[in-house]
Structures are given as structure tokens and as C-alpha cells.
Amino acid sequence: MQKNIMDCIIQVVGKKDSGKTSAIERAVKSLKDMGYSVTVLKHSHHSLDSPGKDTFRFKQAGADYVLFFGNDCGMFIPCDINIIYLLPTDILIIEGYKDLSLGQKIEIESPSQIESVSKRIVELGSLCNKLEGKFIVNGGNEVDISRDKMLKMLYKLLNFLNIKELSVRNS
């Protein structure tokens, strides 16, 4: 049975050094080889922002959102966990958030389980639909959402809100 778009969240939980990251890393490689788009969310109890830093100051000044981009990464402050439902991805794998139920939860207890947990992630991921679809725009022209991450986000938002049809008129 195929899973709904919102059901393609797999949560891997376990203690420090239990093998979570290694299991996820292996699963991501396999799922990518199968043609899926995969996003990984890493939950940490450590703060990424600290007093005195520019991003902290912008947040304290009242900015609704603060985006930080370095040479190879970005950060979004403040984080609302509901943003996960809009990510333009086929499969979301979450490492952590043990106390929340965000998706199909898999617990790993020791590194000896890395292979079996990785296989279970791939098994669950292979049940997910690849995010595909088309928007009908400008009087009937079709636009394939798989080519654009922003369109994928819009598609997921419309599905999340259960909107089947949308019409925009210029005033």
C-alpha cells in the first residue's frame, strides 16, 4: 500500500552512540539510489544561536524569521516543527525528537543494529510516493512540480490544507 505524502516521515531514536547517524546515512544512500528525494532533520538539545551573535540580536530585535547561510549550510530561527510538512521532499528522516510522535518511529539500541535499522528505513521509505504532479496554469498549460522545489512546497501546502483546486485572479 502506498503512503500518503504526509506519512513519509521516518523517525529514528536512540541513545548517544547507538548508531542512529550511521543507519540513517546508509538508508539515505539506498533511497537516493532508488530515485527518492530525501531530507534529514537532526534534532539536538544544543543551541545553534547564542547571545551576542548577529542572528541572536536580530531575533531579539523582533524579526519574525532569521535565516543564516554560511559557506555550506543554513539555519532557520525560530523553528516551528510544523515546517516539516512543507519540505519539498519525498521522504523525511528525523534523527531524534524521542518524546514526539512525528512519523513511523524506529528505535536503535546499539551499533550492532545499524544494518537492520537501515534496511527498515529503506523498507518504509520504499512505500512512499515520489512527489510528482502537475499544476495547470495560464489557461491550461501544465507545469511539472518535480522540476522545482518551490512548486513542490506549494503542492505539499495545498495537500496539507486539503485544497484540491486553486484559482488566482489578477485584480
36 and 68 assigned to the same domain: yes
The dihedral region occupied by 118, where left means phi > 0, alpha psi between -120 and 50, and beta the remainder, is: alpha
- H/E stretch holding 145: none
d(CA 130, CA 138): 26
My answer on whether 146 and 88 are in the same domain is no
93 and 149 belong to one structural domain: no
What is residue 52's predicted lDDT score, i.e. its pLDDT?
A: 85
Number of domains in the chain: 2
pLDDT digits (tens, 9 = 90+) for 11-41: 999 999 999 999 999 999 999 999 998 989 8
More confident residue, 48 or 103: 103
Cβ neighbors of 15 (< 8 A, separation 6 or more) are 109
Same domain, 57 and 74: yes
- Bond from prior residue into 78 cis (ω within 30 degrees of 0): yes
Q: Are 115 and 104 in contact (CB under 8 A)?
A: no
Split at pLDDT 50, 70, 90, the class of 95 is very high
* Reported confidence tier of residue 137, pLDDT bands at 50, 70, 90: low
3-state secondary structure of 101: coil
Same domain, 137 and 58: no
Alpha helices by DSSP H, the chain: 20-33, 54-60, 114-125, 149-160
pLDDT at 3: 42
Is the pLDDT score of 6 beyond 70?
A: no
Average pLDDT over the chain reads 82
Residue 10 DSSP class: E
What pLDDT, on the 0 to 100 scale, is given for residue 143?
76
Residues 166 and 140 in one domain: yes
| 67 and 138 assigned to the same domain | no
Range of the domain at 86: 5-125
Q: Are residues 65 and 119 in the same domain?
A: yes
Q: What is the pLDDT of residues 44-69, one digit of tens each?
A: 766 667 788 888 888 888 887 777 77
